[in-house]
Amino acid sequence: MAGTTATERSGTSKGGGTLYRGDLGMWSWVAHRITGVLTFFFLFAHVLDTALVRVSPDAYDKVIETYKNPIVNLFEVGLVGAVLYHALNGIRVMLVDFWEKGPRYQRQMLWAILGLWVLVMIPGTYFMLVRTVSEMFGGH
């Protein structure tokens, strides 16, 4: 994993072709794309549901109730995780582009943002799910 570069690995795919199999940097790019597209689709739905405040308080409250459903609540953790990765990796991309030593430390910076992601997501997940979990198992 650590030592191989993209050039060493290209051309070693099964078919003997030259399929690009980049290293970690490629996967950080793939994850950046997927999290970005997912967030954009969610944003479409989210502006529509918020627009219900122009219809009636009742209509808005009803739709917002779905956000408090345990399954949807779990998706919210996923959404926050996706957006957080996209934000942290975006900062890393900017450092690679604008900081003179950025390209040299791109791999270390990837591990750093992944570590930061875990550090933020542990308390984040706790606070997002604590009420749902206590209502399911504590019984209110």
Partner 1 sequence: MSELTLARPRSPRRPAARRSNGELYSWLFMRISGVALVVLVLGHLFIMNVLDGGVHRINFGFVAGRWASPFWQFWDLAMLWLAQIHGGNGLRTVINDYARKDATRFWLKVLLYVSMVLIISLGTYVIFTFDPNITD
Would you tell me which residues interact with partner 1 (CB under 8 A)?
A: 33, 36-37, 39-40, 43-44, 47-48, 50-51, 53-54, 56-57, 60-61, 64, 67-68, 73, 76, 80, 83-84, 87, 90-91, 93-94, 97-98, 124, 127-128, 131
Name the residue nearer to partner 1 (CB basis): 33 or 104. Answer: 33
Q: What value, to the nearest 5°, has the Cα angle with vertex 53 and ends 48 and 57? A: 130
Residue 82 CB neighbours (<10 A):
18
Whether the CA torsion 71, 64, 50, 117 is positive or negative: it is: negative
* Residue 35, both tokens: 């999290």
The minimum distance between CB 45 and partner 1, in angstroms, equals: 10
CB of 8 to partner 1, least distance (A): 25
